[in-house]
């Protein structure tokens, strides 16, 4: 899948699972059209109103040739890309802990509380009130976002992930 298509997947899954709204999907389509892309479905998607969730999802599926929301591997890879983005923005200071807490909790539940994400989610939940968890959260976020950024796919991430490293970020 091309980077531009992954951007659409990210916008679609963020809208569906994190409640960010579908405006990013519409912007994606408008940008492709402005770049001269005339792929089937782009004009229909770009012409939608952001409240037309069902129609937007169907247009995205047509463009992507798949149901990204139902594809568990695609959802897992999206979660990894999301952690890379959050890790970068948090390190830059442009994203606060409070803004990260809800999305990380939602992603953790969506993925069925995978072992590799549980410590980050818990540390994130407690970090605002307990200083020991703040440093542990930051270390685990840095660890996971670095792993995902260097992993071309799920299997690569899972091979590289080391529970012992995450356990060092467990202040309990």
Q: Are residues 78 and 161 in the same domain?
A: yes
Average pLDDT, integer, range 114-141: 94
Q: Are residues 149 and 76 in the same domain?
A: yes
Q: DSSP assignment, residue 162?
A: -
Domain boundary among 36, 64, 92: 64
Structural domain containing residue 21: 3-64
Q: What is the mean pLDDT of the chain?
A: 93
Q: Are residues 100 and 155 in the same domain?
A: yes
Six token digits for residue 76: 């897992």
- For residues 48 and 26, is the Cβ–Cβ distance under 8 A? yes
Q: Are residues 8 and 33 in the same domain?
A: yes
End-to-end CA distance of the chain: 41
Q: Are residues 103 and 131 in the same domain?
A: yes
Quote the pTM value.
Answer: 0.88
Phi, psi dihedrals of residue 167, rounded to the nearest 5° = -60, -30
Q: Are residues 14 and 56 in the same domain?
A: yes
Q: Are residues 59 and 76 in the same domain?
A: no
Q: Are residues 59 and 81 in the same domain?
A: no
What pLDDT does residue 1 have?
65
- For residues 60 and 8, is the Cβ–Cβ distance under 8 A? yes
Alpha-helical runs (H) found in the chain: 3-18, 23-34, 42-46, 53-64, 72-92, 97-110, 115-127, 131-149, 154-160, 163-168
What is the number of domains present in the chain?
Answer: 2
What pLDDT does residue 84 have?
97
Note the pLDDT tens digit of each residue in 156-169. Answer: 999 999 999 999 99
Note the pLDDT tens digit of each residue in 67-92. Answer: 777 888 999 999 999 999 999 999 99
Note the pLDDT tens digit of each residue in 6-46. Answer: 999 999 999 999 999 999 999 999 999 999 998 889 999 99
Q: Name the residue with tokens 């169907």.
A: 58
Q: Are residues 86 and 144 in the same domain?
A: yes
């Amino acid at each position: 899948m091309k980077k531009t298509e992954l951007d659409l997947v990210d916008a679609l899954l963020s809208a569906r699972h994190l409640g960010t709204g579908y405006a990013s999907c519409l912007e994606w389509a408008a940008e492709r059209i402005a770049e001269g892309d005339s792929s089937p479905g782009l004009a229909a998607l770009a012409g939608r109103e952001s409240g037309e969730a069902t129609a937007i999802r169907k247009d995205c599926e047509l463009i992507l040739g798949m149901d990204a929301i139902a594809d568990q591997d695609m959802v897992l890879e999206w979660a990894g890309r999301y952690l890379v983005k959050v890790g970068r923005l948090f390190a830059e200071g442009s994203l606060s802990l409070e803004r990260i807490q809800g999305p990380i909790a939602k992603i953790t539940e969506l993925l069925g509380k995978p072992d590799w994400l549980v410590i980050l989610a818990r540390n994130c939940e407690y970090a605002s009130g307990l200083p020991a968890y703040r440093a542990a959260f930051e270390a685990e976020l840095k660890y996971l976002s670095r792993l995902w950024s260097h992993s071309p796919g799920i299997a690569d991430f899972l091979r590289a992930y080391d529970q012992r490293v995450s356990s060092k970020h467990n202040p309990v």
